[in-house]
Amino acid sequence: MDHTRSSGILLHPTSLPGPYGSGDLGPSAYHFVDWLVVAGQSLWQTLPLGPVGMGDSPYMCLSAFAGEPLLIDLEELVRRGWLLREELDRHPRFDERAVRFGDVRSFRMEKLRSAADAFFGRGSADERSEFDRFCRAQRSWLDDYALFMALIGRSNGAEWCTWDPDLVKRKPAALKKARTELQDDVRFWEFTQWCFFRQWHALKKYANERGVRIVGDIPIFIAYQSSDAWANQHLFHLDKDLRPKFVAGVPPDYFSVTGQRWGNPLYDWKAMHEEQYAWWIDRIRTTLELVDVVRVDHFRGFAGYWEIPAEEKTAVKGRWVKGPGAKLFDVIQKKLGTLPIIAEDLGDITPDVIELRDRYDFPGMRILQFAFAGDVKNGFLPHNYVANTVVYSGTHDNDTTAGWFAAATERERVFVQRYLHTDGREIHWDFIRAASASVAVMAVFPFQDVLGLGTEARMNMPGQALGNWAWRFSWDQVNPTHAQRLYDITAMTNRTAADRLQLPSYPAGKAQP
């Protein structure tokens, strides 16, 4: 991975402005890339890009390979002639500052179905050929995903283990019959993926050509209600009814006396090993076709993970189980080469996690908001970083920096004010400056922190089932001083070229050092 000092912004595309209820891969995405360039930023980090399922969480996707159809730029479909301008002009009055997923999904899916009908009815030969090539290239996951989504539609969202037994067990005759019966729906879901991948690659190309790398995100675990679990049942610990025997989570700690029960099915790592980790190789390969660097969520789970019996309502009665460790990454690296991975090494980190991370030279993570709850030896304080680190002012799971400071304990506020020599009135800029000045090779800031927003702009509250992932901004919240101020900090800390700093010239006759 490139170890040049750099910095960037964490912003999920759904948070972008736009007239159709949620951000997408349209004009605002390209404008945001342009803003990053002006601000001296060379990284755009997103959350997982897959189709969201339960709770609208990008960490509980319906597929580990597919893209989110809600991100498709509808304007591009108008330009292609597959949607009429008047169809889009008759959109509801959407909330400009929050994604109302139910309303947005209803509107956008209706327009995508209209576009698909037009494409299959009058698409050009070249367009149809491009679509067919995409479907062939992505067949290893796309066939199962498209049929899975069609079957979800027919069953009104029922869990796949409750479908017709022959479909649950994936008997070839039943699958063939379903593909025939649901042919139009299957083709629709293939169409959405073609549109997403085509538009995403165009956006990534635009960003890369301007010196901006895309940092993606993949959760270690997948959702049970996903095409991956249905299509690869033998790779998970499932019972005779094909429901999870065990689920993922983390043990009780200082923050939660009952721990966290996430509910994801757990991998059968023995079965994965017997197949030479082919599913994981395909997953990483597909992800790295979409992004330049990838953050792996809950990296510690590869060294050891918390196994909770599925019948337990909390994480208390779980146990630690050894993960695949180097066996997995040795095989992936042999197949794919050096991996541009950021290891999310937060939480209960043991020596085996550090050893696994360092074996492959993966940078770990540091969160500045965690730095002031302890003493001066706290590993999240900038003076304790090593260079192979990615520092964040906060992540999607944290409050905004302004919100964090407002709710901090008196000890934390005094500590941070003395450490950063600040009165706290612009704590978000203080954090951005401290992170940028650290030795960490990469520094990333939620866009909310650049804008100085409070708790109302928080993206996710862990443990809260509803009301997450909805935050959006509007361009009228962004003014030229945001980009200029961020550029100045970035250039002064050697994370971008300093040619626009406009410093005074050296005195005549004095040699430049």
Catalytic residue among 56, 76, 185, 297: 297
pTM above 0.75, yes or no: yes
pLDDT on residue 118: 98
Q: For residue 512, name the pLDDT band (cuts at 50, 70, 90).
A: low
Active site residue 297: yes
pLDDT recorded at residue 94: 96
Q: What is the mean pLDDT of residues 22-50?
A: 99
- Both tokens of residue 452? 């100085």
Residue 1: per-residue pLDDT:
77
Q: Is the pLDDT of residue 508 over 80?
A: no
Q: In this predicted structure, what is the pLDDT of residue 466?
A: 86
Query: Is residue 397 annotated as a catalytic residue, yes or no?
Result: yes
Would you say residue 354 has pLDDT above 90? yes
Contact predicate 431/401, CB 8 Å: yes
Q: List the catalytic residue out of 166, 307, 352, 397.
A: 397
Check whether 509 has a pLDDT greater than 80: no
Question: How confident is residue 377, by pLDDT bands cut at 50, 70 and 90?
Answer: very high
Residue 480 CA to residue 318 CA, distance in Å, equals 51
| Coil vs helix vs strand at 219 | strand
Q: Indicate which residue of 75, 76, 144, 344 is catalytic.
A: 344
Q: Is the pLDDT of residue 388 over 70?
A: yes
User: Tell me, what's the pLDDT at 513?
Assistant: 66
Region 366-370: mean pLDDT is 98
Q: Sorting pLDDT into bands at 50, 70 and 90, what band is 511?
A: low
Extract long-range pairs of 249-257: CB within 8 Å, 24+ residues apart.
249/306, 249/308, 249/315, 249/318, 250/306, 250/315, 250/347, 250/348, 251/306, 251/315, 251/316, 251/318, 251/320, 251/348, 252/315, 252/316, 253/347, 253/348, 256/463
Mean pLDDT, rounded, for 466-473: 95
